[in-house]
Structure 1
Amino acid sequence: MNRLEQDDYLALRAGATILEEDGFGEKVLRLADGTMLKLFRRKRLLSSAAWSPYAQRFADNAAALHQRHIPAPVIIAVWRVPSIDRDAVHYHPLVGKTLREMRREGLEAHREQALKAAFTRFVIHLHDCGVYFRSLHLGNVVYTPDHQFGLIDISDARMGRRALSKQLRARNLRRLEGIPEESEWVDSSAVLSGALQEKPRTL
């Protein structure tokens, strides 16, 4: 992880649009050139982020997903920014719309059913590839212009060498199942049985 000095940081974020912030400050910026800058703070003094920074996890997980041929952001750089006490990852965003955006905009019934079936196949494919995505919900799954599903906000994903066990598959579905508007987007029984043993199809 390289060090980014204050003057260079200010030059980088000149003309940026703030996409996400909280009471502690800026979190996600769209830079003037269309690339993204995601800022991470260490939430606790004693935290795994001390030796495994979230920004580096984001970058490492993007590389691991690409190795598995799963669309994800393309990393440009990872920095430590001491002047604002943040780590940062600079990346090209994944082009497309999140499934949450598509659902809210409205879909024809047959289109929605096709997307739900394809999404279930995608989740099975993730689990078969050893991907445990803690933030699995429709807001973090992008449908790309070339009809693939990809992942964003990936700093808390875990990449294993083997397919997930049934117990881990069930645990991975819990967050999605807890969102009333989104739980019906995945066939949980199919995911747990691994019944659809095939790669996601294009639509």
Structure 2
Amino acid sequence: MPDTHDIKAVVFDLGNVLINWAPEAFFDNQIGAERRKAFFDAVPMHETNLNIDRGYPFRDTIADLAQAHPEWQTEIWMWHDNWLQMASPRISHSERLLRALKSKGIPVLSLTNFGVETFEIAKEEYEFLSLFDQSYVSGQLKCIKPDAEIYAHLEAGSGFSGTELIFADDRTDNVKAAAQRGWHTHLFTTPQGWADRLVSEQLLTEEEAQ
């Protein structure tokens, strides 16, 4: 096992680590759970969103999908026009952890599946995204987690080897892919759990991780 005292930089996923990502909850509120389920069963929204994360243009991709599913075009355009409402609110405790690490001079990086245009929308809303020393955004890189290529981009761009990184992500497949490269990993379930891990790795004190 790699020595955790070798950790030199902290890598954050964004969705469901720093920013809540809950399309189902948004549509449940807008059109009701039953119609939302029918909508998601009929239209590949999550698959389409992955294509946006791969770098496909946001508006054009949604427009093509609406044309292919005219019976759901109102709901499909809601995904585009109300995107920020699906990507909210900020996860405040995680934000505090990011700021605490940054204030100590520990390099903080983001590694995220995000579209080019949607990342710009998020940056306007969430000022803490400017705190990262480097951001590795799938839409810009044209590759997504858990593909090995995007992890390699971060290693090459940052100059850190896997054993020098600790990475928090809410998806098991993304965490496993990082672990296979020798990264230290944390499967994010709660901000407190991530705080406890950072304390255990001696990156933050308990007071700093509040």
**TM-score relative to the length of structure 2:** 0.25
Q: Which has the higher contact order (CA 8 A, sep 6+)?
A: 2
Structure whose residues are more often strand by fraction: 1
Structure whose residues are more often helix by fraction: 2
**TM-score relative to the length of structure 1:** 0.25
